[in-house]
Amino acid sequence: MSKKLIWIFAILAIGGALAAGAWWYTFHKPALNVFDEKAVYNLSAADLLNQFTSNEPQADSMYVGKVISVEGTIAAINTIESRVEVSLEDEMMGVICLIDSAYAVKQISEIKALKSGDKVKMKGKCNGYLMDVRLDNCVIEK
């Protein structure tokens, strides 16, 4: 077998492996896991809310789609089916941190310990501003 032929086989094998990898990745790209994700920004819920109410387009470009960490006072805790919504600062116009059902199962004892009036730090993906600033995929940090 000539050297050339070995090279061709090697290139084909590597190309095939790359294509298979890309194919696999298309269907198995892991979903966002906030537990392992580092927050891009750390700020208070009041500051976040203020940034969205004073300049929404700027806040959108900074925070939307990003994992951020916010600290604030719990105004209300609502359980809807198996999801938990924690409102910070104000129940009507505050920061709502949604603990999705898959995340809630992993944090049962932490959720039980939450009380209105307490300070809490939550990490989650910021979705933007719609009456409230919304975060989902939330993890209770402390």
Partner 1 sequence: MKHLFLALILISAMAFKPADEKKYLSKSGHVEFSSHTPMEDIFAQTDQAVSRINATTGEVDFGILIVSFKFKNALMEEHFNENYIESAKFPKATFKGKISNLAAINFAKDGDYPTTIEGNMTIHGVTKPLNVKGILRVNGTKVTAIAKFSIIPQDYGIKIPDLVKEKIAKEMAVSVNVEYSSM
Residues interacting with partner 1, by CB under 8 A?
Answer: 25-27, 29-32, 60-61, 64-65, 80, 83, 85, 96, 98, 125-132, 134, 136
Q: Where are the beta strands (DSSP E) in 10-82?
A: 41-44, 67-80
Place of tokens 């409230």: 132
Beta bridge partner(s), residue 79: 84
71 vs 136, beta carbon nearer partner 1:
136
Supply the minimum distance, in Å, between the C-beta of residue 101 and partner 1: 10
Question: Cβ 110 to partner 1, closest distance in Å?
Answer: 21
Q: Give the three-state DSSP class for 141.
A: coil
Q: At what angle do helices 56-63 and 45-54 cross, to 10 degrees?
A: 130
8 versus 55: smaller Cβ distance to partner 1: 55
Task: Give min distance, CB of 115 to partner 1, in A.
Answer: 21
